[in-house]
Amino acid sequence: MRRINIAVLVVFAVVLSFAFTPGVAMGNFGPHGGYSMDTDSCAGCHRAHTAASSITWTRTDGTQGSALLMSTANEVYQFCYTCHDAVGLGADTNVEEGIYEGTLPGNTMGGRLNAGGFDAAIFPTSHMYTGASWFAYGGSTDADLLGGLSDGEPQIVMSCTSCHDVHGSSNYRLLKDVVNGRVVGGYDDTAPGFSAENPMPTPWVVSAEPGYPAMGWLLHEPGASQMANYQPSYTRPLHAKPPANDPDRGISGWCAACHVQYTQPVGAVFDTSLTPGEGGAETLIADALRGYNSNDGFGYAVRHRHPINVDLAGYLGPRPINVNAPGLALSHDPANAATNEATDWMSCLTCHVAHGSSAVMTGFANVADSRDPQPNSGTGGVPPSGGNSLLRLDNRGVCQSCHNK
């Protein structure tokens, strides 16, 4: 069912003009970055004196001001849906239904977007995106972050712009350079040969797509020239290893800006002297590490995790790892993304999608209490209730794809 788009007609008219501009749907071009000094892109979304939207931005002192958006949208996702919903004509990426609607080479028209989508009727589990408060399980070991991310503590607001910078970034797919106060990309104006007017990109997340700029997106270089040889892959994952193969970076390092503990195979030890929500929890010293309650029946405990940013060749078992299973999304060397190799890395996106998943959980993959694993007793785990943890494949297909049992 098509939902009513709340944006005013004037936005629709402007977006309609964008729809017939070649390349407008690509990140870091069109309205999203790659601005020249005489850019017209600002006028695609903003009005300096007549903005109707109540959406705000936050100043450095914590106060808020109008985002000056030319819309009646009250939430960021509503404004983004002007182009990216099921009926918007401003982009080929229908993020609402998780469908690619364009005809670019290397993509499947009508195919599923790599990240999935947000329509609950299609994707019963999705990242929070509506502007509601949320929290990241395993969110922190740092005292200054406990108040914002540990379950039971004050939460953070999740919207499209919690993850994406609509004005462009150094990273793949407009992923922000600073997330949750952590630097996960950016620009260096002190690098040799660069300047404040033309700083060097320092991305954490790059891509193995054909023609993707190896150094990341330049800040002030016109988008058309940067996109000239780029072929985005919206329906086939072509993830890349981090720049310089840095194991702390890449998409896994980027996700860990919120899911802080997930970069380590063993989680933090829970400090039993404090209870989530108890006064003073935010003043913990930095080494007072905590576990968390993952809603699996074991309560607060040290959590052990699958390693990330590691190559598949490092696994020793009775049978070799399978690297060619359908749907297996590995991180490649940028110059060798045509096939999966044992030297490719696994990352968060090897098993999970970022927006929404339609994977079905049954049998032992649908257990309410891990202390008494009864098949089909209900999914126990982090919210949303009955979720599939944003897994790419049904049940534990992501495990079998590699481990070949």
**Structure confidence at residue 295 (pLDDT):** 73
For residue 98, CA distances in Å to 104, 149, 161, 191, 275 come to: 16, 28, 18, 39, 39
Q: Which helix (H) or strand (E) holds 15?
A: helix 9-19
Question: In this structure, are strands 331-332 and 239-240 parallel, antiparallel, or unpaired?
Answer: parallel
What pLDDT does residue 88 have?
86
Alpha carbon separation from 353 to 98, 113, 331 (Å, rounded): 11, 10, 14
Distances (CA, A) of 338 to 199, 244, 294, 330, 347: 32, 20, 37, 11, 18
- The CA dihedral of 92, 97, 98, 102, to the nearest 10 degrees, is -20
pLDDT the model gives residue 385: 52
pTM: 0.86
CA–CA separation, 341 vs 369, rounded Å? 37
Q: Look at residue 308 in the predicted model and tell me its pLDDT.
A: 92
Domain range summary for the chain, segments of one domain joined by + = 1-91
Is residue 105 a contact partner of residue 231, using CB atoms and an 8 Å limit? yes
Cα Rg for the chain, rounded, in angstroms? 22
pLDDT along the chain (405 residues), means of 10: 39 41 55 87 95 93 94 96 93 97 95 96 92 71 40 67 95 94 94 94 96 90 86 96 94 89 66 44 38 73 85 80 85 88 94 95 91 87 72 94 88
Instruction: Give residue 11's pLDDT.
Output: 41
Of 218, 237, 236, give the one whose Cα is nearest residue 226. 218
